[in-house]
Structure 1
Amino acid sequence: MKLADETAMLDLGRRIAADVRIGDVIALEGGLGAGKTTLARGILAALGLEGEAPSPSFAIVQPYDLPEVRLPVAHVDLYRLDDPAEAQELALGDYLMDSLLIVEWPDRLGEALWPHSLRLHIAIEPDGARRLTADVPEAWTNRWSQL
């Protein structure tokens, strides 16, 4: 899928948000500046977050709870982690009981990414647009086909 600009990325986030559920994991992959946080912001805005969501790069985990969003979300940025063992200390799996989990830099988890994760890889095209490819697990097959 080709996304021409930031507006298209935010719009995709809004469309994804229409079908998210508690326990879902959205894994956002791509280099620096690819648009991972922009896509997450589109999801969060569609879930009711007013204002711009900060990048969780410093905090690592930025939780959003009711009533600021229609369902709880943990927005995670693992860029600063050097070893998958560090991610275990974050107890990210605990969020799956009552939240949506959006994970930037999921490769920092090593092999620990949940198999039901919607994996979205964002690459920067020569013209500045973004190319999004999706690894769609069974849990997302019907929802993804409707985007």
Structure 2
Amino acid sequence: MVGIGSVVLDCEGDPYDALRAMAADPPFSPAGYLRYEGGGRFLSCRDAVSIDRNGITLFSRDMDEEAKNRIQMMAEALLSRDLFSSPPPSGDLPSDSSTTMERHLFTDGVRQLKSHIVDGDCYQAVLSRKIQLPFTGDPLRIYSALRSQNP
């Protein structure tokens, strides 16, 4: 199914062929309008890394010996750091923490993005804010602790 504005065309086969056919009939233009499924045509990924709270998985179709050795070295380096055995010590947040966006503005932005997704304006959106805290420990340990709380 492809469409432009309120015009929707049910079709079989390649959606780009259908968009080209629609573009040939003025006054419509397919520029900028694709449904969610169209993203797969642009966002294909042959190789992928999946990180969950229990480990890291690498999916690859083409991997030479040098790449395998580099991955093995990285895995050994990570495992030798004892990232998962104990979380960093907890405590009060320091008073000199800062953020680029106040919480109420961030949650308002999330609501607005959800509305855009429901309205079909986009199918993928990321709203982020930077939070800075002073920290002197091992960055990978704090990352591991954060991932265990929010995978």
Q: Pick the TM interval, shorter chain.
A: under 0.3
Return the index of the structure with the highest Cα Rg.
2
- Whose strand fraction is larger, Structure 1's or Structure 2's? 1
- Whose helix fraction is larger, Structure 1's or Structure 2's? 2
Normalised by the length of structure 1, the TM-score is 0.22
Structure with the larger RCO, 1 or 2 (CA within 8 Å, 6+ apart): 1
